[in-house]
A and B are shown apart, each in its own frame.
Chain A
Amino acid sequence: DAGVTQSPTHLIKTRGQQVTLRCSPKSGHDTVSWYQQALGQGPQFIFQYYEEEERQRGNFPDRFSGHQFPNYSSELNVNALLLGDSALYLCASSLSYNTGDYYGYTFGSGTRLTVV
């Protein structure tokens, strides 16, 4: 049973460019959450998608946007990249009606984005 799959694993972009990161949730999961983890910090919540809609958003600018597809996979888009956007971007999937099951809240290995 495949867990959460993220692609690409590493990415280098130039300031001002745009980037798209992808996430395939664990089989059976319908909710996807995105986190940004800067070097030496804990993950910071960006937003969550369920039923193809953004349900909650953290303290991130509108340059960060997302999408969820009918098969529950998700994309994170970042426009006008800044040097400070360099981080590990983590995707976590879960089951919407089982919010108390934290052992089922599964993280992927992340995409390491470097902005130069």
Chain B
Amino acid sequence: GQQLNQSPQSMFIQEGEDVSMNCTSSSIFNTWLWYKQEPGEGPVLLIALYKAGELTSNGRLTAQFGITRKDSFLNISASIPSDVGIYFCAGPHQQQGAQKLVFGQGTRLTINP
């Protein structure tokens, strides 16, 4: 089945540093989604990308939809303590009239103040 691979699996950075993470797939996705999950909560959508090559920002977050449609990147600039959490990429998969989300395994971000 479809599988998304995220890297790195974890990051330990200093407050104020920039962060980059990526997600690759063995198959094409027509939409890429980036979620953040904090302890005790469900994933929350940060950015949705709908077109190959698209670059979209949400505050200090910027995500790009790779032109091959098999990868995506998320950057966080000037990290702050509230950026701590697990970041997931996801792609929707339509089948039998229903839609499911396929998730990567996540990148855990830890910030040292």
Contacts of A59 in B (CB 8 A): 1
Question: Which of A55, A102, A103, A109 has most chain B Cβ within 10 Å?
Answer: A102
CB of B88 within 8 A of chain A?
Answer: yes
B99 in contact with A42 (CB, 8 Å): no
**Residue among B43, B88, B92 with the highest chain A CB neighbour number at 10 A:** B43
- Which residues of B approach A to under 8 Å, CB–CB? 1, 4, 31, 33, 40-45, 48, 88, 90, 92, 94-106
Number of interface residues of A (CB under 8 A): 25
Chain A 15-38 interface mask (CB, 8 Å, partner B; 1/0): 000000000000000000101000
Nearest residue, chain A, Cβ from B103: A42
Which of A41, A56, A90 interacts with B100 by CB under 8 Å? A56
Q: Does A7 contact B (CB under 8 A)?
A: no
For B105, give its contact among A40, A107, A109 (CB under 8 Å).
A40
Nearest B residue (CB) for A42: B103
Cα A53 to Cα B92 in complex, Å, equals: 20
Q: List 15 A-B contacts (CB under 8 A).
A: A4-B42, A42-B88, A42-B105, A43-B103, A45-B102, A48-B99, A55-B96, A55-B97, A56-B96, A58-B100, A102-B31, A102-B33, A103-B45, A107-B43, A107-B44
| Bound-complex Cα distance A104 to B102 (A) | 17
On whether A41 and B105 interact (CB within 8 A), knowing A59-B1, A102-B33, the answer reads yes
Question: A108 near B42 (CB under 8 angstroms)?
Answer: yes
* Chain B neighbourhood of A105, CB < 8 A: 45, 101
Question: Across the interface, which residues of B come within 8 angstroms of A43, CB to CB?
Answer: 43, 88, 101, 103
Question: Which of B42, B43, B105 has the largest number of chain A CB atoms within 10 A?
Answer: B42
Closest 5 CB pairs of A and B: A107-B42, A42-B103, A56-B98, A55-B98, A45-B100
A48-B98, A107-B43 known, 8 other contacts, Cβ within 8 Å: A42-B90, A42-B105, A55-B96, A55-B98, A102-B48, A105-B101, A109-B41, A110-B41
Question: A residues within 8 A CB of B42?
Answer: 4, 90, 92, 107-110
Least CB distance from A50 to B in Å reads 7
Select A48's contact among B1, B33, B100, B105, beta carbons within 8 Å.
B100
